[in-house]
């Protein structure tokens, strides 16, 4: 373990790494998390101006190193019009530093899935703080209390939220993490349904114990694998499964999508008709912003916290729950979910019942090991 206060061996991310990160984060978004494109563009622009982002292994963090946990909150549609601004991403971090009376040592993503997987690279390029190779979800989840830190009993306060105007809010006391989610959600609505946040600072020791480790390199690895497969005219889906140690669950064509918005979430399901080896069979994936449970011919086949990824069968690109539509050729695959969410406690946060499915969690990877 590293000695106190020193950060070792950060590795600068190349432009190719950033492209791969965005692609991999989109896959790990399991249908949600928002398109990383504009955030990727922001970081690339900072690179052009000579500001770079480096990646640090969590085990190279000092136990008392202080890490900013950052992301955007809000509606993806608003994010298309109020496009992400790199300086806005920095604001809640500065607010938190003022409150703490000391600078951070590093920055980390709250969720690796979707746009938030790329988010810390903007802050890193501005500040020079390295990005910690870890996150709190290992994917994307719809609510901010669904993190490994919350499962570990750590509070997400103090909590800083920034409007693009000169409105910065700091929540210093709250009953529990669900209250923070409620308060932050209403604040976000009030400032135009898009805000940047910095959650409770995490120490190096907390990240090593409770973080979901090496998810940034996982996303970059997935992205590179897809890009390389495309260059060599190989199957990008095979590449994802091989690099992500995943399982191919179903290959087919989307034949029906039912989608509706309730209580601030995009819910629904997509039915997929089997092709090739899966001909004659049908697969249904349910979603609440992200894909949550999959049924093959009415039998539960895969469920969160296993990662359910729906990708384009030809390009390997992740398909979001907002964009999935009739006629798409898709492959449903599972990637191993973080162990922390598979404990009895973890399942109350991110198991099938947390998404309204009366199912006992059963991992597709459990079945395999037998």
| Footprint on this chain of another protein (rule: CB under 8 A) | 38, 41-42, 45, 74-78, 80-88, 164-165, 189, 192-193, 253, 255-256, 259-261, 264-266, 289, 323, 325-329
Question: What is the number of residues in the chain?
Answer: 370
- Residue 218 CA to residue 100 CA, distance in Å, equals 32
DSSP 176: S
Nearer to another protein, 134 or 191 (CB): 191
Nearest to 301 by CA among 252, 256, 236, 260: 252
Nearer to another protein, 84 or 211 (CB): 84
Phi, psi of 344, deg, nearest 5? -55, -45
Nearer to another protein, 73 or 347 (CB): 73
Residue 237 C-beta: closest distance to another protein, Å:
16
Residue 329 C-beta: closest distance to another protein, Å:
7
**The token pair that represents 111 in the structure block:** 């969720």
Residue 157 C-beta: closest distance to another protein, Å:
23
Do β-strands 131-132 and 194-203 pair in parallel, antiparallel, or remain unpaired?
A: unpaired
C-beta atoms surrounding 82 within 10 Å: 16
Nearer to another protein, 80 or 245 (CB): 80
- Residue 25 CA to residue 117 CA, distance in Å, equals 6
Residue 33 C-beta: closest distance to another protein, Å:
13
Nearer to another protein, 191 or 249 (CB): 191
Residue 226 C-beta: closest distance to another protein, Å:
19
Residue 317 C-beta: closest distance to another protein, Å:
12
End-to-end Cα distance, the chain:
35
Residue 166 C-beta: closest distance to another protein, Å:
8
Nearer to another protein, 61 or 254 (CB): 254
Nearer to another protein, 86 or 301 (CB): 86
CB 125 within 8 A of CB 159: no
338: left (phi over 0), alpha (psi -120 to 50) or beta: beta
Residue 287 C-beta: closest distance to another protein, Å:
11
Nearer to another protein, 1 or 234 (CB): 234
CA 363 to chain centre: 20
Nearer to another protein, 48 or 299 (CB): 48
| C-alpha to C-alpha distances, 240 to 30, 140, 222, 314, 353, nearest whole angstrom | 13, 18, 6, 12, 28
Residue 81 C-beta: closest distance to another protein, Å:
5
| C-alpha to C-alpha distances, 184 to 61, 163, 177, 266, nearest whole angstrom | 29, 11, 10, 19
Helix-then-strand count for the chain, H and E: 12, 17
- Judge residue 164's burial from the number of C-beta atoms within 10 Å of its C-beta, 0-12 exposed, 13-18 middle, 19 or more buried: middle
C-beta atoms surrounding 81 within 10 Å: 9
């Amino acid at each position: 373990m590293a000695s106190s206060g020193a950060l070792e061996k950060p590795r600068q991310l190349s432009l190719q790494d950033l492209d791969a990160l965005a692609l991999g984060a989109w896959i790990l978004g399991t249908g949600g998390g928002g398109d990383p494109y504009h955030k990727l563009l922001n970081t690339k622009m900072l690179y052009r101006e000579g500001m770079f982002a480096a990646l640090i292994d969590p085990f190279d963090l000092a136990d008392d190193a202080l890490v900013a946990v950052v992301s955007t909150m809000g509606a993806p549609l608003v994010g298309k019009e109020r496009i992400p601004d790199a300086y806005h991403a920095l604001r809640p971090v500065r607010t938190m530093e003022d409150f703490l009376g000391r600078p951070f040592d590093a920055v980390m993503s709250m969720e690796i899935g979707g746009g938030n997987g790329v988010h810390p690279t903007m802050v890193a390029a501005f500040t020079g703080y390295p990005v910690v190779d870890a996150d709190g979800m290992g994917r994307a989840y719809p609510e901010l209390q669904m993190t490994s830190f919350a499962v570990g009993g750590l509070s997400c306060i103090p909590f800083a939220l920034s409007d693009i105007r000169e409105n910065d809010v700091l929540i210093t006391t709250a009953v529990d993490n669900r209250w923070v989610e409620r308060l932050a959600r209403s604040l976000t609505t009030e400032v135009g349904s898009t805000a940047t946040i910095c959650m409770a600072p995490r120490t190096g020791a907390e990240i090593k114990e409770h973080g979901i480790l090496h998810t940034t390199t996982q996303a970059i690895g997935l992205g590179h694998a897809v890009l390389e497969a495309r260059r060599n005219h190989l199957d990008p889906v095979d590449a994802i499964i091989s690099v992500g140690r995943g399982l191919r669950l179903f290959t087919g064509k989307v034949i029906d999508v039912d989608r509706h918005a309730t209580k601030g979430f995009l819910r629904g399901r997509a039915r997929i008709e089997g092709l090739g080896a899966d001909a004659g069979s049908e697969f249904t994936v349910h979603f609440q912003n992200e894909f949550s449970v999959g049924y093959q011919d009415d039998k539960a086949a895969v469920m969160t916290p296993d990662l359910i990824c729906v990708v384009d069968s030809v390009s390997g690109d992740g398909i979001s729950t907002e964009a999935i539509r009739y006629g798409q050729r898709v492959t449903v695959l599972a990637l191993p979910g973080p162990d922390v969410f598979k404990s009895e406690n973890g399942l109350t946060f991110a198991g099938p019942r947390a998404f309204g499915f009366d199912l006992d969690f059963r991992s597709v990877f459990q079945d395999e090991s037998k």
